[in-house]
């Protein structure tokens, strides 16, 4: 029998920042560019990819400057076995400048201890920013409701 573990606060915060990064980069139609290959897709079809891997840096894992839209191909296989890390680095340097990227790389091993209250505060802040972007995009309610199958309207006179 499988026992599902509840999501940790860190996992919830990571999920929120990845969504926020995609929403923040989305145009008014909800589309954004993959920072590594340039593919354009809807924010729901993209990942929030980390420049510095979330598992290797407590310092940068939950910083918005480290998370940007990536297509699923670039964020998975290409980050480990392809050219995506190089392309991501070039994009980061173009966007933030060489000094900031060098600073990120130099400090990626710095220990950044977060407590439960820190994660809760981050989640609350991310949720507020997500809501603002959802409003900007004309989305209402939660994304769970938006992703649900649309209900077909009942037609008069068809018995339905």
- What is the distance of C-alpha 150 from the center of its chain? 25
Question: What token pair was written down for 50?
Answer: 């980390």
Report the predicted TM-score, pTM, of the whole model to 2 decimal places: 0.82
Contact between residue 67 and residue 79 where contact means Cβ atoms under 8 Å apart: no
Q: Check residue 76 and give its pLDDT.
A: 87
Q: What mean pLDDT comes out for the span 7-34? A: 97
User: 9-13, 29-33, 65-69, 72-76: which has the minimum mean pLDDT?
Assistant: 72-76
Domain spans, the chain: 9-142
Q: Name the DSSP class of 52.
A: S
Mean pLDDT value across residues 131-144: 79
- Which residues, in sequence order, are CB contacts of 32 under 8 Å at separation 6+? 22, 25, 26, 40, 41, 42, 43, 46, 69
Work out the pLDDT band at 145, boundaries 50, 70, 90.
very low
pLDDT computed for residue 37 by the predictor: 94
User: Is pLDDT of 152 > 80?
Assistant: no
Cβ(47)–Cβ(70) below 8 Å: yes
pLDDT surpassing 90 at residue 154: no
Q: What is the pLDDT of residues 45-88, one digit of tens each?
A: 999 999 999 988 899 999 999 999 999 999 987 777 788 899 99
Confidence of residue 153 (pLDDT cuts 50, 70, 90): very low
Both tokens assigned to 18: 């990845």
């Amino acid at each position: 029998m499988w026992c599902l573990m509840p999501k940790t606060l860190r996992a919830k915060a990571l999920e929120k920042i990845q969504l926020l990064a995609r929403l923040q980069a989305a145009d008014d139609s909800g589309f954004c560019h993959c920072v590594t290959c340039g593919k354009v897709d809807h924010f729901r079809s993209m990942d929030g990819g980390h420049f510095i891997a979330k598992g290797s840096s407590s310092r940068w894992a939950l910083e918005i400057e480290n998370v940007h839209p990536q297509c699923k191909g670039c964020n998975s296989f290409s980050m480990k076995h392809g050219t995506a890390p190089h392309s991501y680095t070039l994009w980061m340097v173009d966007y933030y400048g060489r000094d900031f990227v060098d600073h990120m790389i130099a400090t990626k091993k710095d220990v950044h201890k977060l407590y439960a209250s820190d994660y809760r505060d981050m989640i609350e802040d991310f949720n507020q920013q997500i809501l603002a972007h959802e409003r900007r995009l004309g989305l209402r309610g939660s994304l769970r409701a938006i992703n649900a199958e649309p209900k077909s309207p009942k037609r008069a006179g068809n018995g339905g």
